[in-house]
Amino acid sequence: MRIADLAPAIAPGLMAVIISVAATATLQANEAPPAPANWRETKCAMYTDIRAEVLKSIPREDIGADFIKAEENYIAGGCRGRAYACPKTETQLRYANAVSLRVMSGGLSGTFLPYGCPGGPKTPAAQ
């Protein structure tokens, strides 16, 4: 008996296995992984680490005590609630943008960050 003679008998079973494996792989690929139980703590730790990295290139004193304090209060509160670290200077805006881009590149949402101003932005418009 030749292998070619076995093909018609094997093919339906083999196709069923291939379809089953492909369907399972597709379902798994489309499912989002579950968020860890401590997802907020994970995000807060990521934000804190990224913030520390950016602070190596932009000194705290250039950013300003009020802005830094607003961020520190947000972190101390477990990165919960709405905090307003309102960028009012070009340096603060540059810093907030640098942190925001890195955080979002890491997979977090920009809405997680404490950057915002009550009533909208206060930085001068570009001319």
Domain ranges of the chain: 1-31, 39-112
Q: 3-24 burial, b for 16+ CB within 10 Å, e for fewer?
A: eeeeeeeeeeeeeeeeeeeeee
Q: Which neighbouring-strand residues pair with 85?
A: 115
Give 93's pLDDT tier (boundaries 50, 70, 90).
very high
- pLDDT value, residue 62: 96
pLDDT tens, 39-92? 889 999 999 999 999 999 999 999 999 999 999 999 999 998 878 899 999 999
* Rounded Cα distance, 125 and 127, in Å: 6
Under DSSP, is residue 87 helix (H, G, I), strand (E, B) or coil?
coil
DSSP-assigned letter for residue 34? P
Give the per-residue pLDDT at 125: 58
Instruction: List pLDDT tens digits, range 2-21.
Output: 655 655 655 555 445 445 54
